Structure 1
């Protein structure tokens, strides 16, 4: 599978790619504003990313975080196009030195190569009176950043959003920190959300607020059950149901139990 979907919304062009087109977790979006690319797509989709960069004459890339579906073509872009790739300072060690990529992620996205990106925290001018502001939003990963275009009220969320009602979490995610990041990002002025997996969300502000409310309510329910003597497995089953094949396929790196366990860490 290759290009699954394309979209042009206002002045943003988005491309959805992926080896397996069935689920949002196995496809991802990268976006273009003028000649600026936001995220790079996964390494096993390089053919399509390369063609897009050539056709659109991309001059720079900005990355939201280090995960391979968002930065995985960085090395090839640097080698073949010699254009700058900007990233949050906290992403640089991962991009330059590498990081563990679980087998299921290699199957879905491919294996990324290391490369040197340019650390930045200052607004980046992208033409037509627009600038990108990098806003720290840790939780999904420690280096996760949202990219805000204040002049147009656009927010590129990487993996901060994905769903209004998530049921799974990775072992290395921190939902409590992510909730705080959502609270912080809701202090900013934005309309449209451009998600790395969901695509364009027109009611972006409301969607992120809904996700925060969902996680808060899930946490309250989990804490109530915990305080009344229920085990972690019981709480998970009562609130989210039994684990599905996705948990098994990922070697239990991505599970419902992880989400409940992390939400209960405030009780520890």
Structure 2
């Protein structure tokens, strides 16, 4: 029997709904001037959705901040059956503290198998990327993970720490990481890709590294690391705006990836 999807576009409507009846829930509250207080009301309601299995929550363009974000994650701990979660939190002034707090809370959602988080444009910096990753290790059932960390002023250290943390998520089979518009440079890109090689079940990987000052040598090094993934069959790589400007340079980078033994689907963008 197919579960009914309940959809809400106003906070008040959701607060007044039959909370314990929800199993599949889509809540779209983007651009509604919700602050930490409004987020607290939402958190209290979500904590009572004890039968929830699948949640998509869009809070983009609000002002929930670090406190609101951490509280949001904590509220989901009561949803012990939650296995599929999508959080869209673009532009909410979350910062490093909020990203780490969210990760800390989600670490207690031990049944998550599919997780997608969009934290783009939130100034989470290196500490936020590192903190988020370090806690996700506790989600041992994760098989599909999507993280959008674009435009967050993340440097090489943040990328390295996130990669090292995710390397311990040994059940990951599908991973999408978006680092567009950060500053991870060659050392961060190469370190990230080297660390993720420890995700031995990874078969599908999408990396958006657009605009990170990686350069030709850095791109070659990261592709050399990717070629060592033992089960990778599907790779999508965005290297636009990374100072790789000549066709000969592009071919050198591409050839490094093509040394991967199991790669079947390969897409790469330079320009």
Would the TM-score normalized by the shorter structure come out above 0.5?
A: no
TM-score for both structures, normalised by structure 2? 0.31
Bigger relative contact order (CA 8 A; separation at least 6): 1
TM-score for both structures, normalised by structure 1? 0.31
